[in-house]
Structure 1
Amino acid sequence: MSETRIPEAARARFDACLADADEDAAVELAVGLVTGGVSAEDVLLRLVAPAQVRVGERWESGEWTVSREHAATHVSRKTVDAVAAAAAARVPGGAGSRGHVLVACSDGEWHVLPAQILTEVLRLHGFDVQLLGGSVSPQGILSDVHQHGPDVVALSCTLPWNLPLAHRQIEICRWAGVPVVTGGAGFGPGGTWAYALGADLYAADARAAADALMRHWPPVLRGESSVEAEAVEAYAMLVRQRPELLEHMATALREVHPGPDTGYVSGTEHEEGTGVLGRLLDSLAAAVYVDDERVFTRHLAFVRTYLSARSADSRFLIVMADTLADRLKGSPRALDKLSAGRRFLAGREEDDSGGPG
């Protein structure tokens, strides 16, 4: 499918629509591009998707509140629906005949827009696609696989701490003999963590997924999990100890930032700040599960940026790493990832202070 250029003026107008949460104007703009000759796929991948990336960047930088980000995302999802309807009206017909694809978000994953865009792009390429939505449980995947008999399951994951949950979904699909194609930043650079979990294919975006499935149809089972039993045991231990570990982290944080308003929440909305400690622990657990320190260090990098943009003190992250290390002395795998995280944080502290050179 040939690419068509989205005018810069249209990109700017669409960004403004998201900023104002103007659903009607956003839909009118996007549908107007489709009726004017721009392919629906390009509207989805070159207008809506990049604009949504900028929405996330504005939230991360502190420019937008989480409520404003949610409103903009709602407009993006409505726009995808409208573009899909406009494309169907221009090329009427029934369900695709290339094959049946089941699209789902990993368990715990509520960022549905990437999966929604993938669904519509695959339909444009002639696939029969069913979207299950956000945070699909392994039981839900199994039920739909048995009920609908898809040729392939497409799994989306944006947040790496959901990797252990995604592994259960992948395993269930493989037990049922159904190949799994994966996508999303949560699966790591080049899909390295998707392949570690046993996925059969990773695609960087919806167009790449469609192209790969069209080239290699019917898909075949070729993935193999490299997750070790010892890693699963270490992960399970962290899950069991999660309430206790969170309490110790909160206690250590109050010692560093005494008072009713803890430092990691200062300068942030309560909804955004209260999950920081839990996500730190979840990222550590996921790093242990796939045996890759980058799951943890990348999350630390995000938290530093997130807190700095809100004028909140991120130095407590080293305190948290030390607190966890003190409590997890019996877990070499967790200590290894914590040590990597502390080295990362110490290096960044040196960079910020200008030394040592």
Structure 2
Amino acid sequence: MSLWEFLLGQRSEVLGLALEHLFLVGISTGIAILIGVPLGIALTRWPRLSKPVLGFANIMQTVPSLALFGFLIPLNIYLFHVRILGGIGARTAIVALVLYALLPIIRNTFTGISGVDPAIREAGRAMGMTNRQLLFQVEIPLSLGVIIAGVRVATVISVGTATIAAAIDAGGLGRYIFRGLRMNDNTLILAGAVPAAFMALAADLLLGWMEKIFKTGVGGRLRKPGAWASLLLALGAVIWLSVTMLYPSKIERRIAVGSKDFTEQIIVGEILAQVIEARSGLSAQRRFDLGGNLAHEALVAGEIDVYVEYTGTALTAILKQAPLGDPAEVYRRVKREYASRFAVEWTEPLGFNNT
């Protein structure tokens, strides 16, 4: 099957994954702007802080994305009894993407405002401008081109990095890429990579167009209340979307079923989800394709309620114990150790043995 035939045949799924990808990129970039631009402005007022702040942002850029996702998953940080950091899913992915996007935004904001000609600042002060007026009517309009250039870089970085977020059940076009890598299917890989590339190009063109609109010099569009109102409305929409989509209502009772990222696990996970829905009357939330030991970490963190694990894998990979030849003894040991170490209960075996 060619790439074009696949995209046409699976267009509804492709569109859904593209929207998930766009959500991850849009929310994370918006939050990075909310944090990075004010922080960059603050650094121009307190230059001594520029080295440690930019150094931290540089370090975040060098951390491998999967390692950062893995580090964030076990965290349990709550605000007003709502978990804001940790676990699998879009919440953790967005935090990681924000950390990756901060460097170009902070650096370009700091560089752009610092690069304003001192003579222009002096002229503004001579006209009686306050520091606030000087910032909003002189410095920001003159440096806006540099700031938007940083946002463009951050957006492109986020589009690429968001493909890795599929490994922690955050959705997006990375699902096709990981699935294609497992199956050695180039069509699936391209089905994720090509739309992501077009998304990055479209974002770059859109931000370039915005740069031309707002790059009007001192006294330009940014002095018009409508322009500021539009920016504030867009940022407000980012905050509202992030709250409503990341922390949805939990009125509906659901059981989160997880699986690892290979075919047998996905099939068994789907069977388990269908059995739960048929026999309990509850809806099953499918959180499949969790790479490595993320399914175990998600279970311990309370992000999923159940998944199928192999006793041998649990004994050697999770508990770090030597392998045993007696299946019954292996089961008894992992059942006991999981209960004592993780407060996790092993059910009776499903009845199949693939060793």
Q: TM-score, normalised by structure 2?
A: 0.31
- Considering fraction of residues, name the structure with more helix: 2
Point out the structure with max Rg over C-alpha. Answer: 2
